[in-house]
Structure 1
Amino acid sequence: MARILIVGGSGFIGRHIAGRLQDRGHYVVASSRLEVDLARDGELQLRNKLASFDVVVNCAGLVRDDGANSMAAVHAEGASNLFRACLAAGVTRLIHLSALGVESDGETLYQRSKAVAEEQLASLDPDGARLDWRILRPSLVVGRGGASTRWLLAAAVLPFLPSFGGDAWRFQPVHISDLADVAARISEGTPSPRRLDVVGPEPMTTDTLLTLLREWLGLRPARFFRVPYRLFLLAASIGGRVSTGPLNREVVKLLSRGNVADSAPITAALGRPPRPIRDALALEPAYEADRQAARLFFLPPVLRWSLGLLWIATGLLSFGLYPLEKSYALLAEIGVHGQLADAALYGGATVDLVLGVLLLLRWHPTLVGGAQLATMLAFTIIATRLPPDYWLHPFAPLLKNLPIAAAIFVMIALES
């Protein structure tokens, strides 16, 4: 039994590798960023954290810059610190997760930052005499729970399927079970090349993969519509700014260059051929929850933005876009006059604006949603003093608070 530390063990790939190693009888610690943070921890701190482990598996990685946790900090500098710490701590074996298509002169920062780590590891101990290292370079990894897979499933449930790149975008997706298997085998000393391309048995296009995923979900075939590359790149650029998902400009550029490799080395390391994606998916059938999750995938940002814009519009209207005399007349109907009316009008407008902006910025959506519910409840209680017309009017100006409150509860649940 080996003592194994998985850096980035709370992520999709890390969790699967941890489960596979535990099933094989090893003592495994799957660390999150709270325990081991490559962007924060220096070489000395890392060495102390690695001191009791025989094997280290580095699954830490980003698909976008995230404040202090930039790709350069995590993929290059942080990974290099980890490699030196492994040598200093006496770790016997290191497995580093990189990516297929990594190049030092690559078009994307993702490729270049990953390449720095690969080069650094190879230069520290070229023949693995002091540290038996391996670099795994997976293509697109497919499996339930993966960020990329969730995005692809969301595309696969659309009435018409988007076609990206045509035959030019060929990649060789591998199922997460095969990646976890090969990582576990190499952790135990199974011979393999220093750099191993982890790919599925056959290249395919995004059209083929979306068709397979739609079939896995149990849905009828659908027609494709072509998405021009520039439009897709623009959508990815916007998505990269307003969401935390895997679709961004870096990922699109990486996929557009192709992502294929010979499957013979991974076959040798696994002791069998990698499973075709259709067969691997069949081993974990889809359920209604998978279909529902796919259908809801694009809705959280839509709901959050619509609620945020509604609150901003309410604040702007109260500041004077709606005639002030009518606002004061409404306040007068509940007995609020003079300076108290000013405070109520402009104070409420300010609160609405702030809550709307915070929601658009995705600043603690659960907390902001709770504050919105509280302000709605307070307004509704105050509104009980209004004439019955405000409740019984065909446009239901106050009764509409009920579906809005329900929408906020749904937003809180989806964003939690």
Structure 2
Amino acid sequence: MKILKRILLLLVITVTIAVIYNYPKLNILAGYSAKNTASSVFVANRSLAYTDKTDNNFSPVNLADDKINENHKIATSSAFGLLTRKAIYREGLGAVLTLSKEDETAAYLSPKRKAPDHITPYPYGNAAQKDTVFNNIDYNKLNNTVASIFGKRQTRAVVVIYKDQIIAEKYAKGFNKDSRILGWSMTKSVLSTVFGVMQYQQKLHVMDKAPIDSWQNDERKNITIHNLLQMNSGLQWDENYDEISDATKMLFLERDMTKMQAEKPLTGKVNASWNYSSGTSNLLSGIVRKQFTTHQDYLDYWYTDLIDKIGMNSMILETDLAGNYVASSYAWATPRDWGKFGLLYLHQGNWNGEQIFAKDWVKYITEPTPTSNGTYGAQFWLNAGGRLKDVPKNMFFADGYQGQRVYILPDQDLVIVRMALSWMDENQFLKGILESIK
């Protein structure tokens, strides 16, 4: 009997130690699942069953038990019954993880939105486009190339736009032109564009020093907004989604996501230490907020002066609990609206006759960041280093987790949107589309 008791005691101690050791991981696991569930169900209008089967169906997130409360628009996720996280939906702001009971009923502001234009044809409105058949396009090759990345590649949507005309469009089962899809880190490119708009309006200049009070008494005072946009500040940051890291702690444990990167020390040299950092993007979102007198003005500006101005009316930018747009990760929009974003850059900031940002902003965001080997600009990814060998080197793109892409090919007058749950052979896909246009 004594031996049995000792074995049971040892087992209890072992389990207790395992729970304590893994508790932070469970917290993030349940947090990811709750947030993703709330956004998928209440922002994208998918069912809980579909969300669990697709978006949350990977290890270890699939170990969480998800539930939703339709009436109160709350998602809960439990990690083995040991820990439960909640995410709530707030009108106009999307879903957010809660950190206290009070968060569920706290008052909040929402951005004011412009009504969609359903009269003007796409892309300058949301009405049906005026179809044009181009004699220089091999439509069979084009459609076969598009179809090749569905199925096992888990592609959800592809939109190919040539000379402002959708020439190919395909959706996976359950998706259509009105389906909102998360862009993940493509949100960083939206953030960059906000800086382009603000600079064009002379509200700030990206070469100015970053307005962070806590940096003014050390070497960090030399960091510019430009350095932050290029992710070349030299600040410490761990961007790792396979374990507990700066990135996962920020997204799933922080009330104010703009602060975490600001608190990090320099571990590299300013303008000579490229390091991809979602924390930097959220720090930049906080810098945008500082340019406005009121929180309402900050919330409205992203829509009035950019998103709704170019008719991306489906887009929803989600905020953290402190009311900051999570510029690293959380923009939802239809594939067609993501296409409009690409067209704004294809037309060098001109939208149907109105200049939204300066023409030279495109040159700025596509200038390779020092030490990035030609792969990164100002919150956009580049092909300047020729990584995609069969694609023009001046192609640039917004890039998001699991293969979200908006490719802009200036010389070909082409924008390509791809939304998915997994990566693909980008070079082969883009090569096929380019070869279909003579």
Instruction: Give the TM-score normalised by the residue count of structure 1.
Output: 0.27
Instruction: Give the TM-score normalised by the residue count of structure 2.
Output: 0.26
Greater radius of gyration (CA): 1
Structure number with the higher strand fraction is 2
Structure number with the higher helix fraction is 1
Higher relative contact order (CA 8 A, sep 6+): 2
